[in-house]
Amino acid sequence: MDSSKGEGVGDLEKDEKSNNREGDGSSGKAKALGLQGKDDLGSISEKNMLFRADMIDFKSWDVQLEKHLSRVWSREREACTRKEEWEFDLCKLDIRYLVAQGAYGTVYRGSYNGQDVAVKILDWGEDGMATVAETAALRAAFRQEVAVWHKLDHPNVTKFLGASMGTSNLKIPSNSTSSDDQNSLPSRACCVIVEYLPGGTLKNFLIRNRRRKLAYKIVIQLALDLSRGLSYLHSKKIVHRDVKTENMLLDVGRNLKIADFGVARVEAQNPRDMTGETGTPGYMAPEVLDGKPYNRKCDVYSFGICLWEIYCCDMPYPNLSFADISSAVVWQNLRPEIPRCCPSSLANIMRKCWDANPEKRLEMDEVVRLLEAIDTSKGGGMIPDDQTPGCFCFAPARGP
């Protein structure tokens, strides 16, 4: 019996030494749990660690947890307060009155840091049709696009001043008679501010000159401004996708600047990634109307239509519906009729821009060079209505 006891004692001593070695590897864990001493460990193995609850210092747990949560919350607050370089301070923005309302947002005139600005409010969910996921996707795309817009710097592109992903602190004047009344905007709405151009839209300028037309020199100047702006955008891989005279603004010196980037986007490397009917009837390229993949050449087509409109001071297809335009442009190669008094150098640019085959259309930098080569010293503008009994430019040709 004594020998057996001796053997048992020897086994216990061996187990204790083994446990001590294992305990050394687990001492860090014990400290992390707030145990008060080495003896608190009890019997510990690598697979099982047993602790007496009454020996754990829960107060130290609370301290460690508080420190950890404090670090997490600090990082979250920093992420929330960190602003993108294009974000502006809503408190410095003063919205004065409504300017226009369109499919992609509402435009107001205001001031920011003492500068006259145009303020566009975009709320993609206001029609009740967009799902939460769709609205979130649009906002994410908007954030990516804004990161590109704010870096644009060209005399023929409206200066982008800033944007905000939320409008919770923004107040706008209401339509009521009381000047104190203000409307709040949905927090999901996005806000964009750009330089304000007092000359209005190119479309309104052309309407005002519909009867007397424009001097050829002015036609080429406006066309050059537009082509240079588009060429710059394309060099930055940006496709405007809604080029029309209504989206071009004029400053006090009648210099044209491209505006309204509501549907603009960075050109996809794979043209098949860009599909869908985006744009305005009458200016949309056949491939866009037909729902086919497209690229920057859709802007070139739209420019050709704008060039015709600038020269004629008229509207393309004024008597056709959207359905009629879509069908005729795609299947019957419908284009605006070029007046016979239009110089061939300008008429050729129109035709090359609105070719049915996108690959045959000019690049915008080519358009710039062709327009710069045109001689305007001898005139060539549309014949004004008030100088003749009537303009016969569109009259059918006589003779065989």
Active site residues: 242
What's the CA angle centered on 183, arms 181 and 186, to 5 degrees? Answer: 165
Query: 195 forms bridges with which residues in the sheet?
Result: 117
Q: What share of the chain is helix, strand, coil (3-state, %, to 5)?
A: 45, 15, 40
Contact between residue 249 and residue 259 where contact means Cβ atoms under 8 Å apart: yes
205 contacts: CB under 8 Å, gap ≥ 6? 199, 250, 254
Token reading at 352: 């090359």
Torsion of CA 118, 124, 129, 130, to 10 degrees: 170
Give Cα 120 distance to the centre of its chain: 12
- Longest Cα–Cα distance of the chain, Å, equals 139
Token reading at 51: 């602790």
